[in-house]
Amino acid sequence: MTVLVTGGAGYIGSHMVWALLDAGEDVAVIDRLSTGFRWALPAEAKFYEGDIADEALHAKVFTENTIEAIIHFAGSIIVPESVADPLSYYENNTVKSRALIAAAVKYKVPYFVFSSTAAVYGTPQSPEPVLETAMLNPESPYGSSKLMTETMLRDTANAHDFTYTALRYFNVAGADPKGRTGQSTVGATHLIKVAGEAALGKRGHIDVFGTDYPTADGTCVRDYIHVSDLANAHLKALERMRAGGDSLVANCGYGTGFSVLEVLETVTKVHGKSFDVRYVGRRAGDAVMIVANPGLAKQELNWQPKYDDLDFIVKTALDWEAHLGRRNDR
Ligand code: UDP
């Protein structure tokens, strides 16, 4: 039995591949290498280069392997890009996911884990950590494109012998504590990655997008989760479905919020040197504040975060950034 990881050469996907191999699973990967890297994949993972919606590739992957579960990461992930180019987000995240779900039904794959996002909530109506039952009100095409996939999964699970877990990720950051993989995307936009690049002198400065939000220091608040804890939640989801658990939608975050300025202070502290920070206007599509209530994941998945410490998240991100700086194949 093999676990198929889509987007396995990407940031979160490559951490998942390592976590599965560490747990003794057989792994196959589909990735078209549009943003991922072949070198991010361990040799033990069977690699298929191509598109997740390609039916000829499905025929090959699903007949060459007995796929027991699909863990689906492939997709586009940048909120402001989705505002500027919504149709490519609906294509990549929704239309292509539909093709992959259809393949799961066709080839009788019983389990599916989906990378969903806190962006399905938009800005929650209360400042309390958000529960899965909160109103779903995405503020960007990115969030909508993911919510549509959640809906397809729900309806497919009602109609077919198919169980899914949708994990709503909060802000994923950091890198493998063993240094085997990390966030390697060129032109990355996510805060901790960009701050790491600025700290290491790979970019001249970092912009803070908006200082007039209704938060304690005027900058947006997010719940940053270490990528290895997130990968572990997927393993737990798989374990639970194998044991007969029903379909589930669960938040993946720690329940603690940090503002953009708090994150930048942490990066400065952990790095030990300051870097150029500039204050600019708001960025399109940003929710003011979003923090997870992770109770359901802890209870249902028996998930216990190990790295819920912003200093550690930042340290592993900086270590990876320094490692990337020493590589010459990118
Ligand atoms: N942010 C920022 N400067 C950057 C990147 C991000 O001020 O260079 C802010 C962004 O406006 C948001 C927060 O950091 O308030 C988290 O953004 P990110 O892109 O990391 O994740 P998102 O929450 O959009 O998925």
Q: How confident is the model at residue 21 (pLDDT cuts 50, 70, 90)?
A: very high
Instruction: Tell me the mean pLDDT in the region 208-229.
Output: 97
The residues annotated with a catalytic role in the active site are: 142
Nearest to residue 138, comparing CAs of 168, 165, 110, 107?
168
Q: What's the CA-to-centroid distance between 55 and ligand 1, angstroms? A: 36
- The Cα 80–Cα 103 span in angstroms is 30
CA dihedral of 127, 132, 138, 142, whole degrees rounded to 10: 120
CA 217 to chain centre: 27
Helix, strand, coil shares, percent, the chain, to 5: 40, 20, 40
| Residue 326 clears pLDDT 80, i.e. is over it | no
Going along the chain, which residue ranges are E strands? 2-6, 26-31, 46-49, 67-72, 111-117, 163-169, 171-173, 206-209, 221-222, 224-226, 248-252, 258-259, 277-280, 289-290
Instruction: Tell me the mean pLDDT in the region 88-107.
Output: 98
pLDDT of amino acid 45: 98
Instruction: Tell me the mean pLDDT in the region 79-85.
Output: 93
CA 61 to chain centre: 24
| Residue 115 clears pLDDT 70, i.e. is over it | yes
Of 51-65, 97-111, 260-274, 316-330, the poorest mean pLDDT is in 316-330
Instruction: Tell me the mean pLDDT in the region 303-307.
Output: 97
The neighbour count for residue 288, using CB atoms within 10 Å, is 17
Angle, alpha carbons 281-284-287 (nearest 5°): 95
Atom of ligand 1 nearest to the CA of 119: 25
Token reading at 127: 């400042």
Ligand 1 pocket test: which of 117, 209, 278 has the largest number of ligand atoms within 8 Å of its C-beta? 209
- For ligand 1, whether the C-beta of 79 sits within 6 Å is yes
What tens digit of pLDDT does each residue of 136-166 get? Answer: 999 899 999 999 999 999 999 999 999 999 9
Nearest to residue 187, comparing CAs of 266, 87, 78, 281?
78
Q: Are 164 and 113 in contact (CB under 8 A)?
A: yes
- For ligand 1, whether the C-beta of 100 sits within 6 Å is no
Q: What's the CA-to-centroid distance between 181 and ligand 1, angstroms? A: 22
pLDDT of amino acid 127: 81
Query: Residue 101: helix, strand or coil by DSSP?
Result: helix
pLDDT of amino acid 123: 85
Ligand 1 pocket test: which of 172, 219, 230, 260 has the largest number of ligand atoms within 8 Å of its C-beta? 260
Query: What kind and span of H or E run contains 81?
Result: helix 79-84
pLDDT of amino acid 141: 96
Q: Are 28 and 5 in contact (CB under 8 A)?
A: yes
- For ligand 1, whether the C-beta of 5 sits within 6 Å is no
CA dihedral of 152, 18, 196, 88, whole degrees rounded to 10: -30
What tens digit of pLDDT does each residue of 193-210 get? Answer: 999 999 999 999 999 999
Q: What's the CA-to-centroid distance between 171 and ligand 1, angstroms? A: 9
Atom of ligand 1 nearest to the CA of 282: 11
Domains of the chain and CATH, by start = 2-173+224-253 (3.40.50.720)
Nearest to residue 55, comparing CAs of 30, 33, 77?
30
The mean pLDDT of the chain is 96
Q: What's the CA-to-centroid distance between 98 and ligand 1, angstroms? A: 28
- For ligand 1, whether the C-beta of 48 sits within 6 Å is no
Token reading at 282: 């708001």
Angle, alpha carbons 169-205-281 (nearest 5°): 70
Q: How confident is the model at residue 187 (pLDDT cuts 50, 70, 90)?
A: confident
| Residue 328 clears pLDDT 70, i.e. is over it | no
Q: How confident is the model at residue 220 (pLDDT cuts 50, 70, 90)?
A: very high
Ligand 1 pocket test: which of 120, 276, 283 has the largest number of ligand atoms within 8 Å of its C-beta? 283
**pTM, 2 dp:** 0.96
Q: What's the CA-to-centroid distance between 76 and ligand 1, angstroms? A: 16
Q: What's the CA-to-centroid distance between 306 and ligand 1, angstroms? A: 24
pLDDT of amino acid 330: 46
